Amino acid sequence: MKDEVAERLAHAHYQLEPTIRLIRRLVADPAREADPDEPIKLLEVNDATTPDGIRPVYFAPHPASGIIYPSLIVEITPQEYDQIMKNNSLLPHDWQLGEVIDRVAAAR
């Protein structure tokens, strides 16, 4: 269920901001991810954002749009994404890079 909601949110964001290049899940350990209050975590690579480091921003659930879990977005530049790809330890809280949600998958 969380996977579906993450794709729904990613789809909404791809549509809202055409400058988003890529959206990717961030995942905590499985026990935490099983908690319904553990936020969906999306890493968004956006050409229109500023290089300010990894700054998670938190959101409440939004049931009206089907986002029934809390969420957290990390918005970064393409250059910052390259740095993370080279060094995963830049991610806080022992998060790991999860699956890429591409525009097509998100739109299904």
Binding site for another protein (CB under 8 A): 9, 12, 16-17, 19, 37, 39, 44, 46-52, 55, 57-62, 65, 67, 70-71, 73, 75, 77
Q: By C-beta, is 71 or 81 nearer to another protein? A: 71
Name the minimum Å distance from CB 79 to another protein. Answer: 10
Q: Phi/psi of residue 30, each to 5°?
A: -55, -35
Nearest to 39 by CA among 25, 24, 50: 25
Name the minimum Å distance from CB 98 to another protein. Answer: 18
Name the minimum Å distance from CB 77 to another protein. Answer: 8
Q: Which residues contact 90 (CB under 8 A, 6 or more apart)?
A: 54, 83, 84
What is the β-pairing status of strands 57-59 and 40-46? unpaired
